Chain A
Amino acid sequence: MLEENQLLKFTKKGIYCPQGKFYLDPWYPVDYAIISHGHADHARLGMKRYLCTNDSKAILQHRLGADINIQSIPYNEVLKINDVSVSFHPAGHVIGSAQIRLEYKGYVVVFSGDYKTQPDFISTPFEPIKCHTFITESTFGLPIYNWKTEEELQTELQSWVKTNQANNRTSVFFGYSLGKAQRLMSLLDGCDDIYVHRAIHNLNNAISGSGIDLPKSKLWSADLDKKELQNKIIIAPPALLGSRMLKRVPNAATALCSGWMQIRGNKRWQAVDAGFVVSDHADWNGLISAVKATEAERVYVTHGSQATFSKYLNEIGIEAYELKTEYGDEALAQAEKETEKIETE
């Protein structure tokens, strides 16, 4: 399906660039991996060399080991690898997340990784890049997914915390330690003291250590005095749901924060008190506007609603194909758990 001059080969190990001799977010160990962002389904163990953005470097080292062979460059800076020009461009997904742009003999491919088009208070905002071929995610590739603005979300979350406080309850938010946790911290900043689970705390330290400012937070450890936590804010990875550690939180009101919360049924299915629609991914209009802005001749749709989204793109006159990868929510949930070795006791 793909011609040699189009720069990419879809292999069992991942998306490969034969001209540059490197892979993009491979899921099996390879010699040279260019990494879009730090989530565990994109940044995996076992690569001989890694290349990522400056802002992702500390995250990768924290998660994959300080001893990995890693190189980083700033956003927008071009690095030549075997005649292929490689550069990173903000994806607005999590701290350090990037789209990967490849150019070879005038032909441009952009691999989106995961992205979010709406700006938030913490990650570098998404920038559309013109290209010939665009590889897009499609996690929320259905028209029912439309997000609120960051300001609306802030009001919604903070007023929930205030209501909880009025009822003498401690607000507990669940979200992945990379991305959602920092986003929640930024949304809740100034509301009250924020306590974070150790997995988040350690990651935050790594991020701050590399010179990125984060909102203030304290470590939520198991031996903390209950009185200290009362009526405060806790942020924890989803693995903590139903854990013993959670049971020790005084009068907890729990909230899941995810794009899936858009659907009532998903809220009800979880044993939580609230569900907030907070997503690190592009919503339907975000996906469409991003694809259009690239002016790509050809679009490959990866993880999520790839069948639906590619069918729709073809209907509106954009040549699109499904691309099977090992990225996505399910892989992420599992991989994140394994990467973090989260303590729940």
Chain B
Amino acid sequence: MKQFSKLISAIEITNKTNAKIDALVEYFRTAPEKDKLWLIALFTGKRPSRPVKTALMKQWCMEITELPEWLFLESYSTVGDLGETIALLLPNPTHHIDITLSEWMTELKQLKPKSDEEKKEFVLQAWSGLNQQERLIFNKLIGGSFRIGVSKKTLVNALAKLTGIDANQLMHSIIGSWEVDKISFEDLILGKHINYDNSKPYPFCLAYALEKDITELGEPNDWIVEQKWDGIRGQIVKRNDEIFIWSRGEELVTQQFPELVEAMSNFQDDFVIDGEILAIKDSAVLLFNDLQKRLNRKNVTKKLLEEVPIGFYAYDLLEYNGEDIRNKPFSERRQVLELLFGLVSLPSHIKLSHLVQFKQWEELYAIRENSRSVNSEGLMLKQKASPYHTGRKKGDWWKWKVDPLTIDAVMIYAQKGSGRRSSKYTDYTFAVKKDDALVTVAKAYSGLTDKEITEISKWVNKNAIEKFGPVRTVKPELVFEIAFEGIALSNRHKSGVALRFPRIARWRKDKPVDEIDTIESVKELITAF
């Protein structure tokens, strides 16, 4: 595991994607065949199920260290990660076990059906034979997630750098269906188990934020205007009876949205469509908040399918029956898209993106202002003659978002993410009034200057009430204007509302606490928009 441990250290120590890629390439160049496959499996979520419960691991660690539970928990709250806490608390190793990653994985697989006593013996043996970093990795291999800043995209880019194979093809290969024991590394990356010709997506065409007055865009008649839906931009690729869904992050997300796959199989034709993946219920677009419940799930349950049904609004057609039509004008592509959608009957939540009808630019102001009422982020303006560009290009497409909503709230907690050296409190929790008390409405991190953060940190030090754990409860005195993109009712939040993208707009030193918003005034924003 030395090699794998070295890789993890190298990845963790840097925040530069290129350095991570280099470390991965180095690993792929030198690691044993099976280890490479396991690495890909682990980093893409193809992990075997957890053989040992976390509660047991915690218990064993407390037994070994003879620490009281409260002190274990205090340590855990400082570290923020159970596997890491255990790795740090355990005494120094007494010997060194040096077996490969794949050997560990095999042993862990065999551990699953065994008794708790046998598991304990195995885990304790491993703990006493691994150094701190290896122990952490071992704990991660057992369960939990390998969140160390390597996305599928980074992994794929490393493989692309190593092999020269197209990154999207590699994405398809590693996401595709394969098993560590049944494929060679070479066959996997060459994509022997997939047919990339069928899944290949196009680079997305992206828009810049509108930076001039809308009336300066020229003839209104040269433009097509749509809502800027707030979901996940996606390409649906259908070729030779296979369907693939790519997210804008160039990840294959096909399995996450079975209802889209099912609906698209109604078509006879082959195509590549660009559009927005949205949560849609009773013909209304739900908030991004709701859509999030459907993302990155290993299994989509029936209950979830009913609760948050997924729909798709089609924006553009890039390929039609094998022909790349991206260089045709947008108006023409849209026409073909309309024809295509006319051919089959589709469920109501899968449809063409609605075009905003207007004659004068001025008419759009009111429509844009009203965007929030349909859960859209604003408007998209596209030149009728525009090709489907590769990437971001100025001039042909513009996004015109609505201004954020704001409330005034008071800071009640401050956190500095456990004893970091810079000693600044940077993460804050805010509350509004609810009757005579306060209720939490948002957490926000960004938006203040370093100088303000320093000033607030000093204030927090003097005004902290709570002393256990990494969070400081402070006197409710500092008022901030919080900006956010959307608001929704939520059962998961104590206040009953969830804000989307909350951030600090400014520190309202001028505002006394009794003038902050109430939960009622906050909730009015839901009905108002």
On whether the two chains bind one another, the answer is yes
Which residues of A does B touch, CB under 8 Å? 142-146, 238, 256, 258, 260-271, 273-275, 307-308, 311-312, 315, 329-330, 333-334
Contact B13 A266 (CB under 8 A): no
- Chain B window 54-70, contacts with chain A (Cβ cutoff 8 Å), 1 for yes, 0 for no: 00000000000101101
Residues of B within 8 A of A273 (CB): 13-14, 19
Residues of B within 8 A of A268 (CB): 12, 15, 149
Contact A260 B421 (CB under 8 A): yes
Contact B89 A143 (CB under 8 A): yes
Q: Is B106 an interface residue (CB 8 A)?
A: no
Q: Is B394 an interface residue (CB 8 A)?
A: no
Contact A266 B84 (CB under 8 A): no
Contact A274 B421 (CB under 8 A): no
Contact B13 A275 (CB under 8 A): yes
Given A260-B421, A266-B421, decide whether A143 and B15 contact each other with a Cβ distance below 8 A.
Answer: no
Contact A144 B89 (CB under 8 A): yes
Given A144-B75, A144-B89, decide whether A260 and B13 contact each other with a Cβ distance below 8 A.
Answer: no
Pick from B65, B71, B89: contact of A308, CB below 8 A. B71
Given A263-B78, A263-B419, A308-B71, decide whether A271 and B15 contact each other with a Cβ distance below 8 A.
Answer: yes
CB of B425, distance to nearest CB on chain A (Å) = 9
Contact A266 B418 (CB under 8 A): yes
Of the candidates B78, B84, B419, the one having the most CB atoms from chain A within 10 angstroms of its own CB is: B419
Contact B461 A266 (CB under 8 A): no
CB of B519, distance to nearest CB on chain A (Å) = 33
Residues of B within 8 A of A146 (CB): 88
* Minimum CB distance partner of A263 in chain B: B79
What's the Cα separation between A143 and B75 when bound, in Å? 7
CB of B336, distance to nearest CB on chain A (Å) = 48
Residues of B within 8 A of A315 (CB): 68
Looking at chain A's contact residues, the main secondary structure is helix
Contact A258 B421 (CB under 8 A): yes
Contact A308 B418 (CB under 8 A): no
Residues of A within 8 A of B81 (CB): 264-265
What's the Cα separation between A167 and B423 when bound, in Å? 32
Of the candidates A143, A146, A262, A271, the one having the most CB atoms from chain B within 10 angstroms of its own CB is: A143
What's the Cα separation between A307 and B461 when bound, in Å? 15
CB of A46, distance to nearest CB on chain B (Å) = 20
Residues of B within 8 A of A333 (CB): 421-423
Pick from B68, B418, B421: contact of A329, CB below 8 A. B421
What's the Cα separation between A148 and B44 when bound, in Å? 34
Residues of B within 8 A of A267 (CB): 12-13
What's the Cα separation between A146 and B420 when bound, in Å? 16
Residues of B within 8 A of A271 (CB): 15
* Minimum CB distance partner of B68 in chain A: A315
Contact B421 A256 (CB under 8 A): yes
Residues of A within 8 A of B468 (CB): 307-308
What's the Cα separation between A307 and B418 when bound, in Å? 15
Q: What are the 5 A-B residue pairs with the smallest beta carbon separation, nearest first?
A: A144-B88, A330-B423, A266-B420, A260-B421, A258-B421
Interface residue tally for chain B (C-beta within 8 Å): 33
* Minimum CB distance partner of A331 in chain B: B461
Pick from A143, A270, A330: contact of B457, CB below 8 A. A330
CB of B451, distance to nearest CB on chain A (Å) = 13
CB of A279, distance to nearest CB on chain B (Å) = 10
Pick from B13, B78, B149, B419: contact of A274, CB below 8 A. B13
* Minimum CB distance partner of B88 in chain A: A144
Residues of B within 8 A of A311 (CB): 70
Q: Is B458 an interface residue (CB 8 A)?
A: yes
Q: Is B80 an interface residue (CB 8 A)?
A: yes
- Chain B window 170-200, contacts with chain A (Cβ cutoff 8 Å), 1 for yes, 0 for no: 0000000000000000000000000000000
- Chain B window 195-219, contacts with chain A (Cβ cutoff 8 Å), 1 for yes, 0 for no: 0000000000000000000000000
Residues of B within 8 A of A262 (CB): 88
Which residues of B does A touch, CB under 8 Å? 12-15, 19, 65, 67-68, 70-71, 74-75, 78-81, 84-85, 88-89, 149, 417-423, 457-458, 461, 467-468
CB of B61, distance to nearest CB on chain A (Å) = 11
Residues of B within 8 A of A145 (CB): 88
Contact B419 A260 (CB under 8 A): yes
What's the Cα separation between A315 and B71 when bound, in Å? 11
Contact B79 A270 (CB under 8 A): no
Residues of A within 8 A of B71 (CB): 142-143, 308, 312
CB of A34, distance to nearest CB on chain B (Å) = 26
What's the Cα separation between A271 and B420 when bound, in Å? 12
Contact B420 A144 (CB under 8 A): no
Pick from A143, A256, A270, A329: contact of B67, CB below 8 A. A143
Residues of B within 8 A of A270 (CB): 420-422
What's the Cα separation between A84 and B204 when bound, in Å? 79
What's the Cα separation between A145 and B74 when bound, in Å? 13
What's the Cα separation between A330 and B418 when bound, in Å? 13
Q: A238-B422, A263-B419, A269-B420 are in contact. List 16 more A-B contacts (CB 8 A).
A: A142-B78, A143-B71, A143-B89, A256-B421, A262-B88, A264-B12, A264-B84, A266-B418, A266-B420, A268-B12, A268-B15, A315-B68, A329-B419, A329-B423, A330-B457, A333-B422
What's the Cα separation between A260 and B420 when bound, in Å? 6
Residues of B within 8 A of A274 (CB): 13
What's the Cα separation between A240 and B81 when bound, in Å? 30
* Minimum CB distance partner of B65 in chain A: A143
CB of A199, distance to nearest CB on chain B (Å) = 17
What's the Cα separation between A311 and B468 when bound, in Å? 11
CB of B90, distance to nearest CB on chain A (Å) = 10
What's the Cα separation between A274 and B15 when bound, in Å? 10
Residues of B within 8 A of A144 (CB): 75, 78-79, 85, 88-89
Residues of B within 8 A of A261 (CB): 421
Residues of B within 8 A of A308 (CB): 71, 74, 468
* Minimum CB distance partner of B457 in chain A: A330
What's the Cα separation between A142 and B89 when bound, in Å? 9
What's the Cα separation between A308 and B469 when bound, in Å? 9
What's the Cα separation between A269 and B461 when bound, in Å? 21
Pick from A269, A307, A329: contact of B417, CB below 8 A. A269
Residues of B within 8 A of A143 (CB): 65, 67, 71, 75, 88-89
What's the Cα separation between A307 and B13 when bound, in Å? 32
Given A264-B84, A273-B13, decide whether A142 and B74 contact each other with a Cβ distance below 8 A.
Answer: yes
Residues of B within 8 A of A334 (CB): 458
Residues of A within 8 A of B78 (CB): 142, 144, 263
What's the Cα separation between A28 and B421 when bound, in Å? 25
Contact B13 A265 (CB under 8 A): no
What's the Cα separation between A303 and B67 when bound, in Å? 22
* Minimum CB distance partner of B70 in chain A: A311
Residues of A within 8 A of B84 (CB): 263-264
* Minimum CB distance partner of B419 in chain A: A260
What's the Cα separation between A330 and B425 when bound, in Å? 10
What's the Cα separation between A307 and B469 when bound, in Å? 10
Give 8 CB contacts A-B under 8 Å.
A143-B71, A145-B88, A263-B78, A273-B14, A273-B19, A307-B468, A312-B71, A333-B421
